[in-house]
Amino acid sequence: MAEEKILVVDDEDHILELIKFNLEKEGYKVLTSGNGIDALNIIKEEVPKLILLDLMLPGMDGYDICKEIRRDTLTSHIPVIMITAKGEELDKILGLELGADDYITKPFSVRELIARIKAVLRRTTTQFVETSYKFGNVAIDFQKHEIMKSGKRIDLTLKEFELLEILIKNKGRVMTRDFLLDKIWGYEYIGETRTVDVHIRHLRQKIEDDDKNPKYIETIRGIGYRFNYGD
């Protein structure tokens, strides 16, 4: 039985009641909020395992809430599924670019919502929870989003950092290009595997001693990449 704590943020009471009832049947502990300011306070106090976030909220919309969640190092790791009545592609892409992990459009089936929640939680809980990591002459602080090489700070873009983080947190496992695209860039990028290849090349140039003969980020030909560095 699941025990994860989930926060549902929606200004429609009947939606809150419906989701709460069905998630509690699945064994989740459910917190609810009807506005953005209240939601942010709950997130900081309770640090839920996952957030279901309505896009259209009074005072502070879902986009702004998602941005605040990702800015705060205490909450930046929490997966977010956006819920909205809008179906336009632009809204979906913007939500994913701001850091949402998934996106579901009203009206939705409860079964689909629960399946998406379980899928997102599987992806996020398979990673270890270390806040820092060292390999060779490189040290990473995941909470501060900082990386040092030989004592000097290296500047990574957000996507480069996220890519390196997921590779490290799944070290020894082969990460397919499609998985990395889905996890980091969102569904709209599926099929555009060159996006991953370009970012891997830039990462190697920044962290490898010899990016032409990489020691840490291995290419698994025809499949994807693997981070090779033991404990």
Sheet strands (E) in 59-126: 80-84, 102-105
Residue where a domain terminates, one of 62, 94, 125: 125
Q: What are 169-212's pLDDT values in tens digits?
A: 888 888 888 888 877 887 555 557 788 899 999 999 999 999 89
pLDDT at position 189 is 55
Q: How confident is the model at residue 125 (pLDDT cuts 50, 70, 90)?
A: low
Q: In terms of domains, do 220 and 136 share one?
A: yes
Q: In terms of domains, do 116 and 157 share one?
A: no
Q: Give me the percent of the chain exceeding a pLDDT of 70.
A: 88
Burial bucket for residue 57 (CB in 10 Å: 0-12, 13-18, 19+) = buried
Q: In terms of domains, do 216 and 178 share one?
A: yes
Judged against a pLDDT cut of 50, whether residue 2 lies above it is answered with no
Q: In terms of domains, do 86 and 150 share one?
A: no
* Matching residue, tokens 């500047």: 155
- Mean pLDDT, the chain, integer: 85
CATH number at residue 22: 3.40.50.2300
* Residue 47, CB-side half-sphere exposure with 13 Å CA sphere: 6
* Cβ atoms within 10 Å, residue 144: 10
| The amino acid at 3 | E
pLDDT at position 100 is 82
Boundaries of domain holding 180? 132-227
Calpha distance 125→170 (Å, rounded): 11
Q: Within its chain, how far is the Cα of 201 from the centroid?
A: 22
Q: In terms of domains, do 62 and 154 share one?
A: no
Q: In terms of domains, do 9 and 93 share one?
A: yes
* Residue 132, CB-side half-sphere exposure with 13 Å CA sphere: 8
CATH number at residue 184: 1.10.10.10
Q: In terms of domains, do 168 and 207 share one?
A: yes
Total domains present in the chain: 2
Residue where a domain terminates, one of 98, 125, 152: 125
Q: In terms of domains, do 10 and 119 share one?
A: yes
Burial bucket for residue 94 (CB in 10 Å: 0-12, 13-18, 19+) = middle
The most confident of the ranges 49-53, 57-61, 116-120 is 49-53
pLDDT higher at 89 or 81: 81
Q: In terms of domains, do 97 and 205 share one?
A: no
Q: How confident is the model at residue 231 (pLDDT cuts 50, 70, 90)?
A: very low
pLDDT at position 3 is 66
